[in-house]
A = this chain, B = another copy of it.
């Protein structure tokens, strides 16, 4: 007789534009299986589990779930708590008390670690539990995944933002720096390159955490572009580090803030951008230097989403349920590219994903280390989805001068 019991789903880490698609995929797919007695959602991730803060998603309407799926942010709320062994024992006790037999945790590599520890606790107690990590991160830094749900939509936001500021700096010349999220991996910053349609379009320079950031080199790069075009648009990752590996931001902030996973808090401040602006103004003697730190807008903006990302995030949730309910396995769901462009999903061992970070491969970074390659553009373009805007420019001929005629 197959096991019957409850499903528990939770969301961890930073919200994305499509994490609720995965939630909807899990809940709606799970309703098809008679052995599932209830579908619970934990409020605030693992924190909610130990506090038994559960919503009974069995009693959520299909229509509202579809609306929630279109909403950015984590509908079940999230957490940055990193469970230790004791915490995981409490999680496990709660799962057992509520007869939960399938646990789905939507999150990044930290969430994969949590699933791994909880799964180990269940195995130790010989309790039948299937624990599945479902991928989610705008950073796109999970190993064994071609890419992760959430990345495509955030990348689309970054590309559309740079399309706009590129037009803006054409109109009012100067230097513009956009600071993009990404602790260790430069994938999201690199997506700025997809704003480049014509040869003169920005971003003209892209700085990634995968390459050492050198201030003098940065100033020289900007100067060269500015002298050539009269303007310069730059994409900079918030995670750029100096040659010692120290984040540039850490060197700047008085009160550096770390989360429970030991990660430096990089977002929510304009300090890095303001420092780069000050450097350029001082070294290059250029007056109009502006910087925006895209911050939370790039992961939560309501109304900028990749349809491809939506589709995959939904299907990842459905796939996780299909695999968990038809096979007796735990693991981490991974997205793999099988064509140009097509994907497939498979389950990989939790230990291979947990707490590991995928960086931009060398082939995606230009030899000079200050831009991306066509290989990256080819990789990233389908992830941003269809109907990407395409800025147009005037092509009217120049009128001959009368008063200012050159001799």
Interface residues of A (CB under 8 A from B): 11, 14-15, 40-41, 51-61, 64, 67-68, 70-80, 93-94, 97-98, 160-161, 163-168, 170-172, 176, 195, 255, 257, 267-271, 273-274, 277, 281, 287, 289-297, 299-304, 389-399, 401-404
Q: Is the CB of A297 within 8 A of B302?
A: no
A282 CB, nearest partner CB in chain B, Å: 9
A98 CB, nearest partner CB in chain B, Å: 6
* Inter-chain contacts of A52 with B (CB < 8 A): 399, 401-404
One complex includes copies of this chain to the number of 2
A394 interface neighbour in B76, B160, B287, B401, Cβ under 8 Å = B76
Q: A15-B167, A55-B397, A73-B164 are in contact. List 4 more A-B contacts (CB 8 A).
A: A41-B396, A269-B291, A270-B271, A302-B391
C-alpha gap A55/B394 in the complex (Å): 9
Q: Is the CB of B160 within 8 A of A389?
A: no
Given contacts A59-B397, A392-B70, contact A15 B171 (CB under 8 A): yes
Q: Is the CB of B296 within 8 A of A394?
A: no
A289 interface neighbour in B268, B273, B287, B291, Cβ under 8 Å = B268
Q: Is the CB of A290 within 8 A of B267?
A: yes
C-alpha gap A163/B305 in the complex (Å): 14
C-alpha gap A299/B296 in the complex (Å): 17
C-alpha gap A395/B274 in the complex (Å): 42
Can you sample 22 A-B contacts with CB below 8 Å? A14-B172, A41-B394, A52-B402, A53-B398, A60-B396, A68-B394, A72-B391, A73-B167, A73-B168, A74-B172, A77-B170, A94-B403, A164-B296, A168-B296, A168-B299, A195-B302, A268-B277, A268-B289, A268-B291, A271-B274, A290-B296, A292-B294
* Inter-chain contacts of A297 with B (CB < 8 A): 161, 164-165, 292, 294, 297
Given contacts A64-B394, A77-B170, A273-B270, contact A97 B399 (CB under 8 A): no
In this complex, what residue of B is CB-closest to A50?
A: B404
A171 CB, nearest partner CB in chain B, Å: 4
C-alpha gap A189/B197 in the complex (Å): 32
* Inter-chain contacts of A80 with B (CB < 8 A): 172
Q: Is the CB of A296 within 8 A of B176?
A: yes
C-alpha gap A161/B72 in the complex (Å): 11
* Inter-chain contacts of A290 with B (CB < 8 A): 267-269, 295-296
Q: Is the CB of A57 within 8 A of B396?
A: yes
In this complex, what residue of B is CB-closest to A297?
A: B161
Given contacts A54-B398, A404-B52, contact A270 B293 (CB under 8 A): yes
A225 CB, nearest partner CB in chain B, Å: 18
* Inter-chain contacts of A54 with B (CB < 8 A): 398-399
C-alpha gap A373/B163 in the complex (Å): 35
A201 CB, nearest partner CB in chain B, Å: 12
In this complex, what residue of B is CB-closest to A392?
A: B67
* Inter-chain contacts of A291 with B (CB < 8 A): 268-270, 295
